[in-house]
Amino acid sequence: MKSVESPKFIVDINVGKLARWLRMMGYDTLRFDGDDDWRMIITALREGRIMITKDTQIMKRGVITSGRLRTILITSDEPDLQMQQVLESLNLDCQFRPFTICLECNQPLVERSKEDIEKLVPPHVFQTQNQYMECPACHRIYWKGTHWQAMTRRIENFMKGSPKQNIESGNGQ
Ligand SMILES: [Zn+2]
């Protein structure tokens, strides 16, 4: 199967919460926790990542004003609105590859059989869930429990509140 080129991201610490949301949708996303902007820019360029920041000073750098490094300047303080801005400005699919990347370490998850994880998850989870994924780096086990459902609902809400969606659904010419 041919792999489709999908956008990859690096998020600045000032919008660090976006990393988990993007990973949850399946987008390869680094979180930059340092304070050396230049290192973040170099990483973005080297790895072909779109940079996301709230820092207006970074936007003045030549590498960004020239368009060489694609950067999204987040305007809201509200995480939901921040996510909405990212999804809209890149026209991202929020159902891209849900729950295929570890939320903590950005590693692609590996499918695990129910037998493999029996001793690793609480008994009530084992009894009710049949699909499990494991992070090869931190060995967290993921399943589609209530936390997963809550996050999925919240993503759907980002998009429901989006003005663009309202225009599209109210297409009455
Ligand atoms: Zn992990």
pLDDT in tens, 91-112: 888 878 888 999 999 999 999 9
- What lies within 8 Å, CB to CB, of 159 at 6+ separation is 84, 87, 94, 165
Cα of 141 vs centre of ligand 1, distance in Å, is 9
- For 109, half-sphere exposure in the C-beta direction (CA atoms, 13 angstrom radius) is 24
Q: 108 C-alpha vs ligand 1 centroid, how far in Å?
A: 8
Cα of 149 from ligand 1 centre, angstroms? 20
Report the amino acid identity of residue 75.
Answer: T
Tally of CB atoms within 10 A around 26: 19
- What proportion of the chain, given as a percentage, has pLDDT over 70? 90
Distance, CA 142 to ligand 1 centroid (Å)? 10
Measured in Å, residue 56 CA sits from the centre of ligand 1 at 31
Q: How far, in Å, is the centroid of ligand 1 from the Cα of 116?
A: 17
Q: Which two tokens stand for residue 105?
A: 């370490």
The pLDDT tens digits of the residues spanning 129-149 come to 999 999 999 999 999 888 888
pLDDT of residue 161: 63
* CA 109–ligand 1 middle distance (angstroms): 8
